[in-house]
Structure 1
Amino acid sequence: MPAEHILTNARVVTATEVFLGTVAVRDGLIHDVSQGGSQLAQAQDMEGDYLLPGLVELHTDNLEKYMNPRPGVDWPPESAVLAHDAQLVAAGITTVFDALSIGDVNPKGDRLRQLPIMQQAITHAEQRGHTRAEHRLHLRCELSHEKTLDIFNELVESPLVQLVSVMDHSPGQRQFVRIEKYREYYQGKYHLSDTEMEDFIERQIENSRRYSDRYRRSIAHECRQRSLSLASHDDATLEHVQESAGYGMSIAEFPTTVEAAAVSHRLGLSVLMGAPNIVRGGSHSGNVAAAELAGKGVLDILSSDYYPASLLQAARRLADDTEGYDLPKAVRAISLAPARAAGLNDRGELRHGLRADMVRVRPHERQFVVDRVWRGGQRVF
């Protein structure tokens, strides 16, 4: 895109309204947003398509599918990053926090082996300007694992780290209050025998008792020292939320009950739920549905989690189906709200002075089709 560029005849979606108008870009920043068309010869006709801010994704492990496209297959890591990046941009995502999972509970997994490989590949691709979206790192810390704190202390030194979340997936609490759901999920996911599954359950409960509280305190302290955004994960009770707020967390990822979401929202934690939960109509773990939280006014942020294209589709469904939502409010949940929660104040909406991250989409049935994407004024899709 030239130093100055004008997009006109677009249905511009700001943080508060939608209008037929014009967006002018200068030197990678949004220079002007106005109603009405432009008569300048260089103005590009958007043909009435919607123009949205670039989407901001805080929590995705989508890269792992490219690192290991089949069981036992390791793909060249920088090639995997570029393929992952291309899928994100095609979904309208211009800023992504790639989640690196610290503490693999999978007894047959190799996430720990891949952690430094993934971190290095993302860093190299970003530093060399090979990515189209802007990539940051989100350290997902599984507290019920003996190596989590040591690995966190190594990876947190990366300049790309800007978000940390702490979680405990041991059975009998938080996401898996119901042991039968825990057994169903992990036994199916990891292909464990009945005996292996019982041993797995006992080991996770014991590891949680030994490490979880101590690691949570240490990681929260380090995040405060480094001014990193910190998220809770799977809070289920008033006590969980009060603990998270006490540690200075700014995001509540995937609260499992209405009570936890409502209290998080009231205490100033931005409630993040999965966009796939909206699209599918519920939680795969049997917990509270994201649409229910939206209906109660306590949903702030959507994350694509494992399916990048779900962000736009979920926003469209919120706007169409949920009382109290219009398109600007739904779009805020996938752009402005995640940007602010992660401390990014230079993007997330179509407003003068912000970075020109933009997505041109057209409606098709009950979803949006991405036509073009700009990051910092440069077309990347």
Structure 2
Amino acid sequence: MPNLDLIGAEVLHAEGLSRTPLSFAEGHITQRSAGRQVDLTGFQVLPGIVDLHGDAFERHLAPRRGAMKQLSEGLVSAEAELAANGITTAVLAQFVSWEGGLRGSEFANQVFNGIRDTAPELVTDVRPQLRFETHMLDLYQDLPQRMAEWGVGYIVFNDHLPHDRLAQGKLPKRLVGQALKAGRSPETHLAQMQDMHARREEVPAALDALCAELSQRGIRMGSHDDQTPEQRAEWRARGVSLAEFPETQEAAEAAHAAGDAVIMGAPNVVRGASHNGNLSALDLISMGLCHALASDYHYPSPRRAALMLAQSGLLDLAGAWALVSSGPAQVLGLTDRGTLMPGKRADIVILDKATGRVAATFAAGRVSYMSGAIAERFAA
């Protein structure tokens, strides 16, 4: 593990950029000179990105239909992409859903076991998140124990059933395609959705009990796609304190007013709007209602979103970068990272000042990514 003094670079702290050298030793930022000097003139040194929700890893685990036989190889490949985008802490969001296929229980079991067994070998801090479909009532009893076996300490609740169409007796959109991906006939897939929809009145009480047990176990809990203040209040009453990708300003305002963390997608910022017409992350950020940005489905987006926010003048660089570093770290309760203060983990991303591209990434003081001319400076 290298002990280094990074000199000549612009270093980002809460008060802004400075040219004060940054030193780290034994995996942590230090106040004193740590060892060999590396001149990083022309580069910027920033806190490593903490990504608290991303599912772009799926393409590495199942590049074509069906999972890879060795998920560990896919996770190693996914880590390379994470590190190349400056991400030093990554929460991998995996579904357990009636949708089946890559979102089904069988694939999720492989993924969570793979993360549990492979993550200790990686440089990037990789953690699992369970995205759980609330109407899968048959799984409730065993879920807390399964999560313990998987090492999952973070769950987000979703409901993607097409209730309106099912209530009207209409066929759900894309039924045939979804059924084929899940390996079921369209008739079987539809019957499953209809059965879950018919039991919808059982879900609130079941969620109350499940969330109470998960809370006792110290599980971090979030809701997904909140639409109304009333929905957010229901989740809050269950101890679900994270509002992930709220769909309306009213739901986001209600979450913020109650002290809940509001998480939005970085691709929403990069695009300037939600890809499916929901609430704009830019609007929430401008109103001070967003605590953190997540990669969602695109790992380059947290870095790009933060730089775009700073370049637009909506936030200064320190405030924009906090949305992808210290903000997410606080949401996850990770007090040892997110800033470059002495004593914190040496989670560092180094950007080429001219291009804004990632030149190198360190996680807990270890190199997870390095490319191009900057490698010559460290090798000199």
Q: TM-score, normalization: structure 1?
A: 0.85
Structure 1 residue runs of 5 or longer lacking an equivalent are: none
- CA 1:237 to 1:210, structure 2 compared with 1: closer, same or farther past 3 Å? same
Q: 1:49 aligns with which of 38, 43, 51?
A: 43
User: What corresponds to 1:21 in structure 2?
Assistant: 20
Report the AA paired with residue 66 of structure 1. H
User: What corresponds to 1:244 in structure 2?
Assistant: 235
Q: 1:94 aligns with which of 80, 88, 99?
A: 88
- CA 1:84 to 1:160, structure 2 compared with 1: closer, same or farther past 3 Å? same
In the alignment, structure 1 residue 116 sits paired with structure 2 residue 109: yes
User: What corresponds to 1:341 in structure 2?
Assistant: 331
Task: Give deviations 1:225-261, integer Å, cap 9, x for gaps.
Answer: 1222211211111111212222223321010000111
Contact 1:56 1:96 in 2 (8 A): yes
User: What corresponds to 1:214 in structure 2?
Assistant: 205
Q: Counterparts of 1:66 and 1:256 in 2: how far apart (Å)?
A: 29
Q: Counterparts of 2:287 and 2:71 in 1: how far apart (Å)?
A: 42
- CA 1:300 to 1:139, structure 2 compared with 1: closer, same or farther past 3 Å? same
Q: 2:68 aligns with which of 74, 93, 100?
A: 74
User: What corresponds to 1:286 in structure 2?
Assistant: 277
Contact 2:144 2:214 in 1 (8 A): no
Task: Give deviations 1:171-216, integer Å, cap 9, x for gaps.
Answer: 358xx9xx9xx96677776679998997676455335x14531342
User: What corresponds to 1:379 in structure 2?
Assistant: 367
Q: What does 1:158-169 align with in structure 2 at a 5 Å threshold?
A: 158=149, 160-169=151-160
Q: By how many angstroms is 1:64 displaced?
A: 2.2
3-state DSSP class of the match of 2:337?
Answer: coil
Contact 2:137 2:206 in 1 (8 A): no
User: What corresponds to 1:6 in structure 2?
Assistant: 5
User: What corresponds to 1:144 in structure 2?
Assistant: 135
Q: Counterparts of 2:359 and 2:271 in 1: how far apart (Å)?
A: 24
Q: Counterparts of 2:297 and 2:347 in 1: how far apart (Å)?
A: 23
User: What corresponds to 1:62 in structure 2?
Assistant: 56
Structure 2 residue runs of 5 or longer lacking an equivalent are: 370-380
Q: Over the residues paired in the alignment, what is the CA RMSD in angstroms? A: 2.9
Displaced runs of 4+ in structure 1, greater than 4 A?
A: 107-110, 182-204
Contact 1:141 1:152 in 2 (8 A): no
User: What corresponds to 1:205 in structure 2?
Assistant: 197
In the alignment, structure 1 residue 226 sits paired with structure 2 residue 225: no
Q: 1:268 aligns with which of 259, 270, 275?
A: 259
Q: Counterparts of 2:335 and 2:10 in 1: how far apart (Å)?
A: 24
User: What corresponds to 1:256 in structure 2?
Assistant: 247
Report the AA paired with residue 53 of structure 2. H
Q: By how many angstroms is 1:15 displaced?
A: 2.8
Contact 2:42 2:353 in 1 (8 A): no
Q: By how many angstroms is 1:89 displaced?
A: 1.1
Q: By how many angstroms is 1:67 displaced?
A: 2.0
3-state DSSP class of the match of 1:161?
Answer: coil
- CA 1:168 to 1:22, structure 2 compared with 1: closer, same or farther past 3 Å? same
- CA 1:42 to 1:109, structure 2 compared with 1: closer, same or farther past 3 Å? closer
Contact 2:98 2:104 in 1 (8 A): no
Contact 1:294 1:322 in 2 (8 A): no
Contact 2:291 2:323 in 1 (8 A): yes
Q: Counterparts of 1:52 and 1:190 in 2: how far apart (Å)?
A: 45
Task: Give deviations 1:318-343, integer Å, cap 9, x for gaps.
Answer: 222263x1111111111111111111
Task: Give deviations 1:104-147, integer Å, cap 9, x for gaps.
Answer: 232666621112211111111123xx212112221211102234
Q: Counterparts of 1:301 and 1:115 in 2: how far apart (Å)?
A: 26
- CA 1:373 to 1:117, structure 2 compared with 1: closer, same or farther past 3 Å? same
Q: TM-score, normalization: structure 2?
A: 0.86
Q: 1:328 aligns with which of 318, 327, 338?
A: 318
Q: Counterparts of 1:278 and 1:153 in 2: how far apart (Å)?
A: 35
Contact 2:46 2:340 in 1 (8 A): yes
Contact 1:361 1:369 in 2 (8 A): yes
Q: By how many angstroms is 1:350 displaced?
A: 0.7
Report the AA paired with residue 26 of structure 1. A
- CA 1:116 to 1:266, structure 2 compared with 1: closer, same or farther past 3 Å? same
Deviates more, 1:333-342 or 1:55-64: 55-64
Length, aligned pairs only: 362
Task: Give deviations 1:350-381, integer Å, cap 9, x for gaps.
Answer: 1111111101012456xx31111111112221
3-state DSSP class of the match of 1:263?
Answer: helix
In the alignment, structure 1 residue 362 sits paired with structure 2 residue 361: no
Q: Counterparts of 1:330 and 1:355 in 2: how far apart (Å)?
A: 21
User: What corresponds to 2:161 in structure 1?
Assistant: 170
- CA 1:186 to 1:49, structure 2 compared with 1: closer, same or farther past 3 Å? farther
Q: Counterparts of 2:311 and 2:173 in 1: how far apart (Å)?
A: 34
Task: Give deviations 1:53-80, integer Å, cap 9, x for gaps.
Answer: 1111111222322221112453421111
